[in-house]
Chains A and B, each alone.
Chain A
Amino acid sequence: MEHFIALVTKPDNVPIVAILFLIPYFLWLSYRQARQTDLAGVPSDAALNDKVYVWPYLCRNEFICAIIVMLVLGIWSITIDAPLEEPSDPTKTPNPSKAPWYFLALQEMLVYFDPWVAGVVLPGLIIAGLIAIPYVDINPKGKGYYTIKERPFALAVFCFGFIILWIVLMVVGTFLRGPGWNFFAPWQKWDPHLVVPLTNVNLSYLFGIRDEPTANFFGFVVVAGYYALGPIFYVWKQKSSRFLQELGLVRYILVSFLFLTMLALPIKMVLRLGLNIKYVWVSPWFNI
């Protein structure tokens, strides 16, 4: 436990501790405003045309905000020193070796996926997906005010991605991953000699498939079947759902692909942690 406290109070981990308080605070702040809008309705036009002069009203706010932030930064800089360890030595690898804290969600994904997926393809898709958001979200409501009722799906997806898959994984990677990137609870001592039995098997093995070509084909079917869920749902619902008709096929394919890829991470986590599955699809060229 002492060593966990030392870890949490490490100078470079201050931002993560700050995030642990900031995210719940801002969630609460936005939730309160969203509930107010959902109960009382969207603010009327009259309230919006109420304009104020930038000078002095906005400039004053900016000035006060800047002073408060500089004060916090000043106190932070006076009381906590930036870390400086021993000189770099390529022959002395620390265990664990960690990336900077804001990349630890990506490093955490390396547990569940190979580097080419966790380190390259998924980050690329996160960026592409973020940029695509305004072009695939055709819901005109909920623009410029907090609401839950008017866009529950968009909010749920984004909050799940940002809070669970980015912030929580970052916190786990920083505080709960020790030597060998093994999981250590706060009260456990970091043991560099911890022996972890490698009992993971591939999904095909679990289904009794032993030869490689069949396993390869099986993995392909599983992954292709997973991504086919999107088009299947479209064909099934397209006639009855006005939303899907408005969305259109191209946007739908993009959304379902990105959405299923995002869900693949928690699914793989459950498979790994619950069933000791190493890979879903093993092929001669890559493993997923």
Chain B
Amino acid sequence: MNEERKGLKEKITNSDIWRSIFRHGYENTGRRYTLQVLQNVWLHLHPPRVSRHALNFRFTWCMGGITFLMFLVTAVTGVLLMFYYRPTAEYAFSDVQYLEFDIPFGMLLRNMHRWAAHGMVISVMLHMFRVFLTGSYKKPREFNWGVGVILLLVTFFLSFTGYLLPWDQLAFWAVTVGTNMARATPVLGHEGPFAPEPITQANDVRFALLAGTIVGPSTLLRFYILHCVAVPLLASVLMALHFWRVRKDGGISGPL
């Protein structure tokens, strides 16, 4: 029986059709495993081999990878959402309503985008917690910890700029409350301590963020561009640096 199956397998893999699709066989050798990683554009950020404890869920919690996965989900669903959304005060809210009620799977698309964004905030905080608990920020990974802190802020800012886009009461007032504190920036905010004479509410740091003295149509456009273009680009660059440094600093941390 076993012999028979083996013969059939060889017959198929030796056939002209099979050989035209798969150029060579898949050997179970270390060389093959190494090439599989090195020659693949998606996998080549990985080293060919890692220490065994890097596979251990109890050690890594998988949180860094989950954060990246959540970023990818928000990127894909975000691009799809952009087809149906216009960032103007006239259309924004009704576009979201249209998406929810008339677009096939529109509600699911929006749900996935929002919950993946929330998931990313949770996983990035837990990732930082794990990295601290295992002392993984210590030499030679000091700089990469700093990059990670900036990425944490970028994640918060990505989520915060996206919060405004549905243009409903929840969005409007959450962003109003969240940006109100910028008034009180020392020196640069018009209600902050030591604000010099020329600083008013029409030219302080909050005005730069909102493009107005209150949250308005120009804020919506500004947050839209930050959310869809500027901050994702920044996040991508920093993530590339972060992953690169994980590799260059000796891979995932472990006792030496």
Contact indicator A87/B169 (Cβ below 8 Å): yes
Which residue of chain B lies nearest to A66 when distances are taken between CB atoms in the complex? B69
Contact indicator B69/A82 (Cβ below 8 Å): no
Residue A83 is within 8 A (CB to CB) of chain B in the complex:
yes
Across the interface, which residues of A come within 8 angstroms of B215, CB to CB? 90
Contact partner of B111 among A56, A77, A127, A131, CB < 8 A?
Answer: A77
Residue A133 is within 8 A (CB to CB) of chain B in the complex:
yes
Contact partner of A53 among B49, B138, B156, CB < 8 A?
Answer: B49
Given contacts A80-B115, A90-B214, contact A69 B66 (CB under 8 A): yes
Residue B242 is within 8 A (CB to CB) of chain A in the complex:
no
Contact partner of A107 among B69, B73, B137, B177, CB < 8 A?
Answer: B177
Those of A81-96 within 8 Å (CB) of chain B: 81-90, 92-94
Proximity string of chain A (40-72) to chain B, C-beta cutoff 8 Å, 1 when within and 0 when not: 001100011111111111110110011001100
Size class of the contact patch on chain A: 35 or more
Contact indicator A286/B168 (Cβ below 8 Å): no
Residue B171 is within 8 A (CB to CB) of chain A in the complex:
yes
Q: How many residues of B contact A (CB 8 A)?
A: 95
Residue A35 is within 8 A (CB to CB) of chain B in the complex:
no
Instruction: Report how far A59 CA is from B46 CA in the complex, Å.
Output: 9
Contact indicator B167/A43 (Cβ below 8 Å): no
Across the interface, which residues of A come within 8 angstroms of B255, CB to CB? 42-43, 48, 143-145
Residue B181 is within 8 A (CB to CB) of chain A in the complex:
yes
Given contacts A51-B51, A53-B49, A86-B168, contact A93 B173 (CB under 8 A): yes
Contact indicator B118/A14 (Cβ below 8 Å): yes
Residue B224 is within 8 A (CB to CB) of chain A in the complex:
no
Residue B256 is within 8 A (CB to CB) of chain A in the complex:
yes
Q: How far is the CB of A280 from chain B (nearest CB, A)?
A: 15
Residue B48 is within 8 A (CB to CB) of chain A in the complex:
yes
Those of B25-74 within 8 Å (CB) of chain A: 30, 33-34, 36-37, 43, 46-55, 57-59, 61-62, 65-66, 69-70, 73
Contact partner of B170 among A56, A85, A146, A154, CB < 8 A?
Answer: A85
Across the interface, which residues of B come within 8 angstroms of A77, CB to CB? 108, 111-112, 115
Stretch in A116-124, A204-212, A216-224, A257-265 touching the partner: A116-124
Contact indicator A87/B93 (Cβ below 8 Å): yes
Across the interface, which residues of A come within 8 angstroms of B149, CB to CB? 127, 130-131
Across the interface, which residues of A come within 8 angstroms of B167, CB to CB? 87-88
Which residue, A58, A77, A158, has most C-beta atoms of chain B within 10 A?
A77
Residue B192 is within 8 A (CB to CB) of chain A in the complex:
yes
Those of B153-208 within 8 Å (CB) of chain A: 153, 156, 159-160, 163, 166-174, 176-178, 180-186, 189, 191-194
Given contacts A144-B255, A145-B255, contact A65 B62 (CB under 8 A): yes
Residue A134 is within 8 A (CB to CB) of chain B in the complex:
yes
Residue B129 is within 8 A (CB to CB) of chain A in the complex:
yes
Instruction: Report how far A22 CA is from B124 CA in the complex, Å.
Output: 13
Across the interface, which residues of B come within 8 angstroms of A53, CB to CB? 30, 33-34, 48-49
Instruction: Report how far A78 CA is from B216 CA in the complex, Å.
Output: 32
Contact partner of A54 among B37, B113, B119, CB < 8 A?
Answer: B37
9 sampled A-B residue pairs with Cβ under 8 A: A29-B61, A61-B62, A76-B115, A100-B163, A102-B121, A106-B181, A119-B182, A134-B141, A147-B135
Task: Identify 17 new A-B residue pairs, CB closer than 8 A, beyond the known A84-B168, A119-B181.
Answer: A15-B121, A29-B58, A43-B255, A47-B52, A54-B37, A55-B34, A56-B33, A70-B73, A78-B108, A84-B97, A88-B93, A116-B192, A120-B192, A130-B149, A133-B132, A143-B138, A145-B254
Give the top 5 A-B pairs by smallest Cβ distance, nearest first. Answer: A119-B181, A88-B172, A115-B184, A134-B142, A77-B111
B contact residues vs A (CB 8 Å cutoff):
30, 33-34, 36-37, 43, 46-55, 57-59, 61-62, 65-66, 69-70, 73, 93, 96-97, 100, 107-108, 110-116, 118-119, 121-122, 126, 129-130, 132-139, 141-142, 145-146, 149, 153, 156, 159-160, 163, 166-174, 176-178, 180-186, 189, 191-194, 214-216, 253-256
A contact residues vs B (CB 8 Å cutoff):
12, 14-15, 18-19, 22, 26, 29-30, 33-34, 42-43, 47-59, 61-62, 65-66, 69-70, 73-74, 76-78, 80-90, 92-94, 97-100, 102-103, 106-107, 110, 114-116, 118-121, 127, 130-131, 133-135, 137, 140-147, 151, 154-155, 158, 162, 285-286
